[in-house]
């Protein structure tokens, strides 16, 4: 017997990533699009956890099923944690992905390598129909490069440098990136709690 779970996204790529990361669970996965739910919950939280919980509770209420929602972004130490929860909106609505990471590089101009530390953060909220909520977080540590490199990935991947591998995230094949990503780490932490929730 499978349990229906809503992944609170309309992004088919994110749905595919979750179904891959949690493929062995007895689950029937649904997206907002599958259920005809509009992705219109405003992310008004001041941190990743607040936004993930906000979305999981609201979309879970609409779907009346166990719901996973995440919030993620890039935290740069030299910028006081920015862009953080504003990662997807950094610089305003007129910028695309490349525009946002170029702005980031401009804002880090003159900052030496050792002070360009950063991490991707992903917080997942799982909320059951009875209101029970579980929060997990995953991170991926790195540094901000001085220029963009690589053709894979999206967002800030071209400037997120992995010192131990000598490449940016955008230079890694998708399968390698997904094996070490902040979302993969958060999903791995969620797995045992999710198994418990499935047996409620």
Which active-site residues does the annotation give?
71
Residue 178 DSSP SS3: helix
Strand locations in the chain, DSSP E? 3-7, 27-31, 66-76, 117-127, 133-144, 160-162, 167-168
* Cα–Cα distance measured from residue 104 to residue 116, given in angstroms and rounded to the nearest whole number: 11
* Cα–Cα distance measured from residue 163 to residue 117, given in angstroms and rounded to the nearest whole number: 10
CA distances (Å), origin 160, targets 86, 88, 167, 200: 17, 15, 8, 40
The b-or-e profile of 24-45 (16+ CB within 10 A means b, else e) is: eeebebbbbeeeebeeebeeeb
């Amino acid at each position: 017997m499978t349990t229906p779970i809503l992944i609170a996204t309309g992004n088919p790529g994110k749905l595919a990533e979750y179904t891959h990361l949690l493929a062995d669970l007895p689950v029937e996965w649904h997206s907002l699009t599958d259920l005809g739910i509009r992705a219109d919950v405003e992310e008004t939280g001041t941190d990743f956890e607040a936004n993930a919980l906000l979305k999981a509770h609201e979309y879970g209420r609409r779907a009346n099923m166990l719901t996973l929602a995440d919030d993620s972004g890039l935290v740069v130490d030299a910028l006081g944690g920015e862009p953080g929860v504003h990662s997807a909106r950094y610089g305003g609505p007129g910028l695309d992905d490349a525009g946002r990471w170029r702005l980031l590089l401009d804002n880090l101009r003159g900052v030496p390598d050792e002070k360009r530390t950063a991490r991707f953060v992903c917080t997942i909220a799982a909320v059951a129909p009875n209101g029970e909520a579980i929060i997990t977080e995953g991170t991926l540590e790195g540094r901000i490069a001085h220029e963009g490199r690589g053709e894979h990935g999206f967002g800030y991947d071209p400037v997120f440098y992995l010192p131990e591998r000598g490449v940016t995230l955008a230079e890694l094949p998708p399968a390698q990136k997904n094996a070490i990503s902040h979302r993969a780490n958060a999903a791995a932490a969620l797995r045992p709690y999710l198994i418990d929730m499935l047996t409620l």
